[in-house]
């Protein structure tokens, strides 16, 4: 990997000797200075940063808190789904809304006492250091950590320049150095985690996503040493090659390679797209959290159906976003969507599977249990819809252990008006004390989300797809 960086630097030096001055072209941009060329190219390749147009990156423009949250969120693979946030000055439709909420949830960035995030406020070098240190798990003083790791350097006067605002180009440089040690100003990683590969022809990539090219393959059982993780990827060394491998395909201790760079991969990250059934990227999953906005659905005190099912829908969406499946949500915020518009959305997005998520209610508080519906009358996809329903139902029963109310034929609009295999899952009864207790428990909601995800995978497995590596 160092060879292509060295080549690019040498090329830039040659241009300088010939009297050709910066800016030079990076990733189609005509305004990126040579000092940031490789780093901007690297982040663009991984989908971490984007330009303001196809040809301009605006490298000297100061970066806002919204942009910083987005860049870092993409880098460490957080959920960027646009949605309502905890901040009263962040529009749910903003490009950065999802990343702002995800980053706040992880304690990487926060708002003020009045509940404002100040998305348009400019970021200083000192704030940049804190954001990157928290995002990548560096301990101690943030500025010192970045200096010691070779991620940042001081100003000409010997200070860090903490109060100075930072440009898009400089932020890209520091972020790329945090991700990939080959960009750093000095060698600062130690490979000490003893790991083994668990899949044949496993790709080693130049960056932590399948967007980055493979620089080699290793067979199952190969010993590698790990240094640190970025999202669901580990920076490893095997022989003379260093690069990133999905932690899904590594066994053994994934502890930190240094005291300042702990590896904290998410639980059971999904495998990279290039390693599984090639048909999967052609499949689009439509997730439909019921109700929303002015329609709360079933209510029990402060517990509202629209909130429960949106929470679950977003969690299922997050799981599928880490796979090669395409996934679309009829709503990802607290918005009212008409029934006809839900099925129209599924058709317009060429869905292959439609799953609507609801909770039940009854005037009889003893009514309880889980059930799943499909539509049979005149439905050309009745067999597949019934199969999909049965798989989801089985997984939900396993997850929550509630009464099995079975799979049923239901003449429901979102099922009836669809032109694809479709199921509607009723998680449990909000009106029942036992069922609703699970709906108030975040761990239980995460568990039922994984169940729906695995149930959909079970359907694809029954249809002959090789999805074994994707299970949670």
Question: For residue 255, what pLDDT is reported?
Answer: 40
Q: How confident is the model at residue 248 (pLDDT cuts 50, 70, 90)?
A: confident
Identify the pLDDT of residue 27: 56
User: Buried (b) or exposed (e) across 241-273, using 16+ Cβ within 10 A?
Assistant: ebbbbbbbbbeeebebbbebbbbebeeebbbbb
Q: Check whether 256 has a pLDDT greater than 70.
A: no
Question: What is the mean predicted confidence (pLDDT) over 284-302?
Answer: 96
Residue 336, domain member (yes or no): yes
Task: Kindly report whether the global pTM for this prediction surpasses the value 0.75.
Answer: no
303: domain CATH number is 3.40.630.40
C-alpha torsion angle, residues 207, 212, 216, 221 (rounded to 10): 60
User: Does residue 240 belong to any structural domain of this protein?
Assistant: yes
Share of the chain above pLDDT 90, in %: 73
Q: Which of 24-38, 144-158, 279-293 has the lowest mean pLDDT?
A: 24-38
Residue 184, domain member (yes or no): no
> How would residue 252 be classed by pLDDT, with cut points 50, 70 and 90?
confident
The answer as to whether 432 is a domain residue is: yes
8-state DSSP, 270:
P
HEC per residue, the chain: CHHHHHHHHHHHHHHHHCCCCCCEEECCEEEECHHHHHHHHHHHHCCCCCCCCCCCCCCCCECEHHHHHHHHHHHCCCCCCCCCCCCCCCCCCCCCHHHHHHHHHCCCCCCCCCCCCCCCCECEHHHHHHHHHHHHCCCCCHHHHHHHCCCCCCCCCCCCCCCCECEHHHHHHHHHHHHCHHHCCCCCCCCCEEEEECCCCEEEECCCCCCCCEEEEECCCCEEEEEEEECCEEEEEECCEEEEEEHHHEEECCCCCCCCCCCCCCCCCCCCHHHCCCCHHHCEEEEEECCECCECCCEECCEEHHHHHHHHHHHHHHHHHCCCCEEEECCCCCCCCCHHHHHHHHHHCCCCEEEEEEEECCCCCCCCCEEEEECCCCCCCHHHHHHHHHHHHHHHHHHHCCCEEEEEECCCHHHHCCCCCEEEEEEEECCCHHHHHHHCCHHHHHHHHHHHHHHHHHHHHHCCCCCHHHCC
For residues 245 and 335, membership in a common domain is answered with no
How would residue 374 be classed by pLDDT, with cut points 50, 70 and 90? very high
Q: What is the mean pLDDT of the chain?
A: 87
Q: Are 229 and 258 members of one domain?
A: yes
Confidence band (pLDDT; 50, 70, 90) for 284?
very high
* Statement to judge: residues 386 and 264 lie in one domain: no
Query: What digits encode the pLDDT tens for the residues 445-460?
Result: 999 999 999 999 999 9
Q: What's the confidence (pLDDT) of residue 188?
A: 87
Q: Are residues 345 and 438 in the same domain?
A: yes
**pLDDT grade for 271, boundaries at 50, 70 and 90:** low
**Residues 290 and 436 occupy one common structural domain:** yes
pLDDT of residue 51: 83
If asked whether residues 251 and 361 sit together in one domain, one would say no
Instruction: Give the lowest-confidence range in 5-14, 162-171, 395-404, 435-444.
Output: 5-14
- pLDDT-derived band at 145 (thresholds 50, 70, 90) equals very high
Residue 173 lies in a domain: no
The pLDDT of residue 263: 30
Which residues, at least 6 apart from 56, have a Cβ–Cβ distance to it below 8 Å?
Answer: 29, 30, 31
| End-of-domain residue from the set 240, 269, 298 | 269
Q: Are residues 256 and 331 in the same domain?
A: no
Query: Which of 247, 269, 291 finishes a domain?
Result: 269
Q: What is the pLDDT of residue 333?
A: 93
Cα 350 to the center of its chain, rounded Å: 23
- Domain identity same for 263 and 285: no
Q: What is the pLDDT of residues 39-75, one digit of tens each?
A: 999 999 998 998 878 789 999 999 999 999 999 999 9
Residue 354 lies in a domain: yes
Residue at which a domain ends, from 243, 269, 295: 269
Work out how many domains the chain is built from and give that number: 2
Lowest mean pLDDT among 170-179, 247-256, 299-308, 387-396: 247-256
Tokens representing 149?
């790791």
Judge if 263 and 317 occupy the same domain. no
Dihedral (C-alpha) 454, 456, 462, 465: value to the nearest 10 degrees? -90
- Domain of 447 in residue numbering reads as 280-470
What is the pLDDT, as a whole number, of residue 253?
Answer: 54
> Does residue 296 sit in the same domain as residue 253?
no
Residue 447 resides in a domain: yes
Q: Which two tokens stand for residue 276?
A: 């599984």
Residues 200 and 329 in one domain: no
Would you place residue 154 in the very low, low, confident or very high pLDDT band (cuts 50, 70, 90)? confident
28's tokens: 């189609």
Average pLDDT over residues 224-230: 94
Are 241 and 317 in the same domain? no
In CATH, what number is assigned to the domain containing residue 206?
2.30.30.40
Q: Is the pLDDT of residue 13 over 60?
A: no
pLDDT digits (tens, 9 = 90+) for 176-217: 999 999 999 998 899 999 999 988 888 999 999 888 889 999
The verdict on residue 461 lying in a domain is: yes
Q: Percent of the chain, pLDDT > 70?
A: 89
């Amino acid at each position: 990997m160092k060879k292509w960086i060295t080549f690019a630097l040498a090329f830039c030096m040659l241009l300088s000797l010939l009297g050709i001055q910066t800016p030079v072209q990076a990733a189609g941009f005509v305004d990126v200075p040579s000092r940031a060329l490789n780093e901007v190219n690297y982040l663009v390749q991984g989908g971490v940063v984007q330009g303001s147009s196809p040809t301009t990156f605006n490298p000297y423009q100061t970066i806002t808190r919204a942009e910083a949250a987005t860049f870092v969120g993409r880098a460490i693979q957080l959920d960027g789904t646009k949605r309502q946030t905890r901040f009263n000055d962040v529009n749910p439709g903003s490009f950065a809304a999802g990343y702002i909420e995800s980053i706040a949830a992880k304690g990487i960035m926060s708002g003020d006492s009045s509940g404002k995030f100040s998305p348009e406020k400019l970021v200083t070098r000192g704030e940049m250091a804190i954001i990157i240190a928290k995002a990548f798990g560096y301990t101690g003083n943030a500025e010192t950590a970045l200096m010691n790791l070779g991620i940042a350097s001081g100003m000409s006067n010997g200070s860090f320049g903490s109060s100075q605002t930072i440009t898009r180009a400089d932020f890209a440089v520091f972020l790329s150095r945090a991700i990939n040690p080959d960009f750093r100003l000095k060698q600062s990683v130690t490979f000490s985690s003893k790991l083994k590969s668990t899949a044949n022809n496993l790709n080693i990539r130049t960056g932590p996503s399948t967007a980055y090219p493979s620089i080699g393959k290793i067979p199952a059982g190969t010993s590698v040493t790990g240094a640190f993780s970025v999202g669901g990827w580990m920076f490893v060394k095997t022989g003379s090659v260093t690069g990133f491998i999905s932690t899904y395909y590594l066994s053994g201790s994934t502890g930190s390679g240094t005291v300042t760079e702990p590896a904290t991969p998410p639980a059971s990250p999904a495998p990279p797209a290039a390693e599984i059934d090639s048909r999967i990227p052609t499949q689009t999953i439509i997730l439909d959290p019921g109700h929303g906005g002015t329609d709360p659905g079933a209510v029990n005190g402060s517990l509202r159906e629209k909130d429960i099912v949106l929470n679950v829908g977003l969690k299922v969406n997050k799981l599928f976003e880490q796979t090669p499946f395409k996934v679309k949500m009829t709503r990802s915020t607290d918005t009212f969507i008409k029934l006809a518009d839900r099925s129209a959305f599924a058709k317009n997005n060429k869905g292959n599977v439609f799953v609507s998520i609801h909770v039940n209610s009854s005037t009889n508080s003893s009514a309880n249990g889980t059930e799943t519906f499909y539509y049979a009358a005149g439905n050309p996809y009745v067999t597949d819809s019934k199969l999909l329903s049965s798989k989801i139902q089985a997984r939900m029963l396993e997850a929550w252990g509630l009464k099995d109310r079975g799979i049923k034929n239901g003449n429901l609009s979102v099922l009836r008006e669809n032109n694809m295999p479709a199921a509607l899952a009723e998680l449990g009864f909000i009106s029942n004390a036992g069922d609703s207790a699970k709906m108030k428990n975040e761990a239980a909601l995460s568990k039922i989300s994984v169940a729906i995800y695995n149930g959909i995978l079970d359907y694809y497995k029954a249809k002959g797809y090789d999805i074994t590596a994707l299970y949670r």
